[in-house]
Amino acid sequence: MKFNKLTDTQIAYFASLLTLRKPNWESSSTCDVLVTAKVDPIPHQVEAAQFFFRNPFQGGVILGDEVGLGKTIESGLILSQLWAEGKRKILIIAPKSLRHQWQDELRELFYLDSEIIDTNSYAKVAKGIYPDSLEEDEIILITNEHFVAKYKSKILGGKWDLVVIDEAHKLRNVWKPGKNQAKRAKAIRDSIFPFKKMLLTATPMQNNLMELYGLCSFLDPYILGSADSFKRNFVSTTGSELDDKLKELKFRISKFFKRELRKNVQVFIPYTNRNAVTIPFDPTDEEEELRLTFENYLKDPETIALPAIANGFLRLVYFKLLASSSFALKNSLNNLYAKLVHYSVALNDKELFTLLIHLIEEKLVRNDGEKSPEYLHFQKALYKNVSTKSFEGLKQQLEGERILFNVLNSEGAEDNYDEADLESLKSNEDDQPLVSKEKIISESELILSLINLTKGLSKNSKGSALVHAINQQFKKARENNWPEKAVIFTEFKTTQKYIISVLEQNGLTLDDIVIFNGDSGSASERRQLVEDFRGEKKVFLTTEAGAEGLNLQFCNLLINYDLPWNPQRIEQRIGRCHRYGQKLDVVVVNFTNKKNVADQRILELLESK
C-alpha cells in the first residue's frame, strides 16, 4: 500500500520503529530464538551466540568452552538465528558417533530439521537413487570428516552460509608441513576455506601451542602469521619474554576465539563438586618381574617386532598396555610373536617359520595335544584374513601389508588415537627394517620367556583394586541414596575383556554391564547402549570411544582404570558425568602402582596440569 499522506501520529510511530531497529548481531537478534527454543537461557551461551554475530572475521570463530558448558546449545542458537535470517545452507562436520546426537538435539531443542549424509548414502546419489543434498539451497547437512575429505570438490563448490566443525581438536595437526602429514585435515581445510566457519572444541590445545595455531588456521591460514613466524614468536620464546608474548597471543586470538570456564559460570549453573579418590595397589613379585622385563624389552632400540621406526608411538602403546593389565599383556606378547613369524615369511625363510611355530607350540600346546587359549589367540593373530593357514598362504597375504599398523589394531587401541596420531606411523611403514634370522630367533626366545612369566600369574592386583573401589563406592551410593552406577574407562579392548571377567567373578553379570567401544555399531545402537545404562545396567565399560559427546549425567561415579597421558583426555572423560544437569557430587577414582615410580609421576603430572 502506498501512503499519499501520513498523519503526525503515523510519522511519529514509523520514526520510532526506525530508530529502534538494530543490526542482526545486537541482542534482539537472538530474542525470538530464546523464546521459541526449548533450552534454558544461560547467559554465557547467549554471549557466545552474540560473539559469533559480532565477529568481524569472514573466516569465522572458535568456541572453546570447557566440557559440559553447552557448546551444542550455543551452536543451536546461532543456527536458529541464521535460519530466521534466510541463511539456510549449513554444513555440520562431526565425529560419526555424534551425528545422530546433533540431529536429535537440533530437532528437539530448536525445531530445526537436518539430514545426515555419509559415503554410503552418497553412493546412491551417483546411481540416481537419491537426490543430491549437496545441491539444495536450504538444508542443514550433518556429515563426518571422512566424507568432506573424500568429496572435497563438491563441498568446495557449495555455497555454505556456515560450516560447523565439532570436536575440532581432531584436526589440530593441520599445520604440519610434510606432504603425508595431516592429509585429511588439510583436505577439509581447503574444501571449506571460502565459507564462514565455527569450530567447537573443549580442548583447543593439548600439549603444544602449534595445535592452537593449527585450529586458528582453519579460519584463515595466516590469521596468526606463518607457522615459522608463530614458532619464533610464541613457541621458541623463553624466560621473562614468554609472559609478554603469551599475553600478546591471548589478545590477538580474543578477536575470534571465545572460551568460557566452568568456574566463571557457577553463579548461573550450580555445578556439583568433583571429588578425586586415588587407590594405590601393590603388585605381586611375579607382576613386577613381568613389568620390569617387558619394559627393558621396550627400551631396546634393536627390537624387530617393534623396530626403531615405531619408537615414540607404538612403543608408547605397549607401555600403556603394560600399565593397564598384566593379563591383557598375554595376548599382546602373542601378537608380537606373530609379527616375528610374519617377518620370517617376509624373508621367505620357511625353515625359520617352521622353527618359530615349533618353539611357541612347546610353550602353549599341552602334552596331550590340546591347544591352550593363548595358542589359539596366537593362531588367530598370525593367520588373520589368511585363507590358507600355511607359510604359502601367509606369504601371499603379507605382500604389501603394513605390519606395524596391524600391531596397533591387534591391541584394540585404535579408539584412543585419531588421524593425527596415526599418520606418522603409517608414513614410516613404507621403510621396513632389515632383519636377520639370528636376531629373530634371539628375540623370539625373549618373548617366549615373557609368555612363560604371564603363565605364572594367578591374580592381577589392579583388578583386585578395581573390585575394592566398586564395592566401596556402591556402598557409599546406597548410604546416600545415589544410583549404583559406574562409568569405567580403559584404553584397550583387551583390558575390557579382562575387566568383564573380574566383574563377573565378583557378582555382576553381563546383564549388568554395557560394553562400549569403537565397534559398538551405528549411532542408533550406541544411543540404545546409553539408554540401557540409564535403565537397569550398573556398569558402563568403555574405551576412549565413550569420552566425547555422551551425556551420562545420571551417573556420578567415574573410574579411570587406565590413565591417559594427556590431561585433556581426562577432562573429556569426566565431562561425560560432570556436566550441566548433574545433580550429585561426582566421584573420580584413579589407581596408582606403588612400585612403579613412572605410574605415580603420571598421576602427579595429570593432577598438576
- As a dihedral over the C-alpha atoms of residue 47, residue 48, residue 53, residue 54, rounded to 10 degrees, the angle is 60
In whole numbers, what is the pLDDT of the chain averaged over residues? 83
Residue 77 pLDDT grade (very low, low, confident, very high; cuts 50, 70, 90): very high
| Residue reference for cell 575387566 | 499
Element (H, E) at 419: helix 419-428
What are the tens digits of pLDDT across the range 325-345?
Answer: 777 787 788 888 998 998 898
Contacts of 273 (CB under 8 A, 6+ apart): 585, 586
pLDDT at 526 over 70: yes
pLDDT at 441 over 70: yes
Q: What are phi and psi of 34, to 5 degrees?
A: -65, -35
Inter-residue contact 196 to 62 (CB < 8 Å) = no
Dist CA 431 CA 100 (whole Å): 40
Q: What are phi and psi of 487, to 5 degrees?
A: -95, 120
pTM (two decimals): 0.74
DSSP per-residue letters across 585-607: -EEEEEEEETT-HHHHHHHHHHH
Q: What are phi and psi of 234, to 5 degrees?
A: -125, -30
| Cα angle for residues 552, 497, 466 (degrees, 5° grid) | 65
Inter-residue contact 264 to 70 (CB < 8 Å) = no
C-alpha cell at 476: 557409599
Dist CA 39 CA 109 (whole Å): 6
Neighbouring-strand partners of residue 198: 61, 164
What value does the mean pLDDT take over residues 301-311?
72
Residue 271 pLDDT grade (very low, low, confident, very high; cuts 50, 70, 90): confident
Dist CA 562 CA 547 (whole Å): 13
What value does the mean pLDDT take over residues 30-47?
68
- What CA–CA distances, in Å, run from 88 to 59, 154, 163? 18, 18, 11
